[in-house]
Amino acid sequence: MRARKAWVAATLLTTVAFGGTTAAHADILFWSTQAAPVEETQAMREQVLSGFDEPIDYQATDDRGPWLTRIEAELEAGSGTIGVLGALHGEFVSLADNLVDLSDIDLGDVTLNATFKELGTLGTGEQKYLPWMQATYIMAANRQALDHLPEGADINALTYDELVEWAGVLAEETGSPKFGFPAGPQGLKHRFFQGYLYPSYTDSVVTKFRSAEAEEGWNKFKELWQHTNPSSTSYGFMQEPLLTGEVWVAWDHTARLADAFNQRPEDFVAFPAPAGPTGRGFMPVIAGMAIPQTAPDMEASKSLIAYMLRPEAQIATLRATNFFPVVETDLPEDMPASVRMSGEAIARMSDAENANPSLLPIGLGEYNGKFNQVYVDAFERIVLAGQDVRTVLDDQAETLRSVMEESGAPCWAPDEPSDGACPVE
Amino acid sequence: MTAVTARETAVPAADIRKRGRFLVAITILILSVWVLAPIYLLAINALSSPAQVNAFPKSLVPGMETESIAFFLGFAGVLRALGNSILVAGITMVLAIGLGAPAGYALSRFDFRGKDAFRIMVLMTRAFPLPLLALPLAVMFIRTGLDDTAFGLALVHTTLALPFAVLITFSLFSGIPVELEEAAWTLGCTRFQAFHKVVLPLVLPGIAASAVFAFVISWNEVFAAAVLTIQNRTLTAFLLQNINVSPMHLKFAGGAMLVLPALIFIFAVRRYLFAMWGIASR
Amino acid sequence: MEKRSLPYLLLLPATLFLCVFFIYPFLLVAWQAVSQDGALTLEHFRTMAGHWKFPTAFWNTMLLALAVVPVQLALALFMATLVTRMEKGRDLVLYIWTIPLGISDLAAGIIWLAIFEQTGFLNSMLVGLGAVEQPVAWLGYQNKGTIFLAVVLAEIWRATAIVLVILVAGMGLIPKEYHEAAEVFGASPWKRFTRITVPLLRPSIQTALILRTILAFEVFAVVIALAGTNFPVLMGETYHWQFNLQDRHVAAAYALVILAISIAFTLVFLRTLRVPREAQI
Note the pLDDT tens digit of each residue in A235-270.
989 999 999 999 999 999 999 999 999 999 999 999
Q: Answer yes or no: do B224 and B142 share one domain.
A: yes
Q: Is the pLDDT of residue C201 over 50?
A: yes
> pLDDT tens digits, residue range B23-74?
888 999 999 999 999 999 999 988 988 888 888 888 888 888 888 888 888 7
Average pLDDT along chain A? 90
Do A230 and C229 make contact, defined as CB atoms within 8 angstroms? no
CATH number of A136-284+354-407: 3.40.190.10
> pLDDT tens digits, residue range A21-55?
443 457 899 999 999 888 888 899 999 999 999 99
Amino acid letter, A242: L
pLDDT at B49: 86
CB of A216 less than 8 A from some CB of C: no
Which structural domain range is residue B130 located in?
Answer: 77-241
Residue environment code for A379-403, b if the CB has 16+ CB neighbours within 10 A, otherwise e = bbbbbbeeeebeebbebbbebbbeb
Do A233 and C118 make contact, defined as CB atoms within 8 angstroms? no
Residue-wise DSSP of C89-106: SHHHHHHHHHGGGGS-HH
Q: What confidence category does residue B11 fall into, taking pLDDT thresholds of 50, 70 and 90?
A: low
Q: Which of C229, C245, C246 sits opposite A185 (nearest CB)?
A: C229
**Segment among B159-168, C158-167, C177-186 with least mean pLDDT:** C177-186
Is residue B272 assigned to a domain?
A: no
Q: Answer yes or no: do B223 and B104 share one domain.
A: yes
> pLDDT tens digits, residue range A343-358?
999 999 988 899 998 9
Nearest-Cα distance to chain A for C32, in Å, is 15
Do B36 and C104 make contact, defined as CB atoms within 8 angstroms? no
Q: Where are the alpha helices (DSSP H) in A131-237?
A: 143-146, 160-174, 189-192, 198-202, 212-226
Q: What is the CATH number of the domain that holds B173?
A: 1.10.3720.10
Give me the mean pLDDT over the A68-77 stretch: 95
> Model pTM?
0.88
Q: Answer yes or no: do B105 and B39 share one domain.
A: no
- DSSP annotation of A292 reads B
Q: Among A3, C43, C50, A73, which residue's Cα sits nearest to residue B141?
A: A73
Give me the mean pLDDT over the B234-261 stretch: 82
Q: Answer yes or no: do B15 and B153 share one domain.
A: no
B22-B28-B29-B31 Cα dihedral, nearest 10 degrees: 150
Nearest-Cα distance to chain C for A346, in Å, is 28
* Domains A2-135+285-342 and A136-284+354-407 alike in fold: yes
Q: Answer yes or no: do B7 and B118 share one domain.
A: no
pLDDT at A165: 96
Identify the CATH class of C23-279: mainly alpha
Query: Rounded distance, CA C99 to CA C96, Å?
Result: 5
Give me the mean pLDDT over the B145-168 stretch: 93
Q: Is the pLDDT of residue B267 over 90?
A: no
Q: Among A265, A282, A264, which residue's Cα sits nearest to residue A273?
A: A282
Q: Answer yes or no: do B94 and B163 share one domain.
A: yes
Query: Rounded distance, CA B154 to CA A62, Å?
Result: 24
Nearest-Cα distance to chain C for A290, in Å, is 19
Residues 41-100 of C with CB under 8 A from B: 79, 82, 84-86, 90-91, 93-100
Total structural domains in chain B?
2
Q: Which of A65, A230, A245 sits opposite C137 (nearest CB)?
A: A230
CB of A23 less than 8 A from some CB of B: no
Q: Answer yes or no: do B149 and B18 share one domain.
A: no
Query: Rounded distance, CA B189 to CA A241, Å?
Result: 69
- Domain boundaries of chain A, sorted by first residue: 2-135+285-342, 136-284+354-407
Contact yes or no for A171/A228 (Cβ under 8 A): no
CB of A159 less than 8 A from some CB of C: no
Can you say whether residue A219 is alpha, beta or left, with left for phi > 0 and alpha for psi between -120 and 50 degrees?
A: alpha
A249-A250-A254-A258 Cα dihedral, nearest 10 degrees: -60
- DSSP annotation of C229 reads G
- Is this complex's ipTM strictly greater than 0.85? yes
**3-class state of residue A250 by DSSP:** strand
**Segment among A219-223, A397-401, B173-177, C113-117 with least mean pLDDT:** B173-177
Q: Is the pLDDT of residue A18 over 60?
A: no
**Segment among B244-248, C15-19, C96-100, C185-189 with least mean pLDDT:** B244-248
pLDDT at C77: 94
Amino acid letter, A198: Y
Q: Answer yes or no: do B104 and B167 share one domain.
A: yes
**3-class state of residue B61 by DSSP:** coil
Query: Rounded distance, CA B275 to CA C3, Å?
Result: 32
Is residue B23 assigned to a domain?
A: yes
Average pLDDT along chain B? 84
- Domain boundaries of chain C, sorted by first residue: 23-279
Q: Among A241, A240, A256, which residue's Cα sits nearest to residue A189?
A: A256
pLDDT at B278: 41
CATH number of A2-135+285-342: 3.40.190.10
Contact yes or no for C165/B273 (Cβ under 8 A): yes
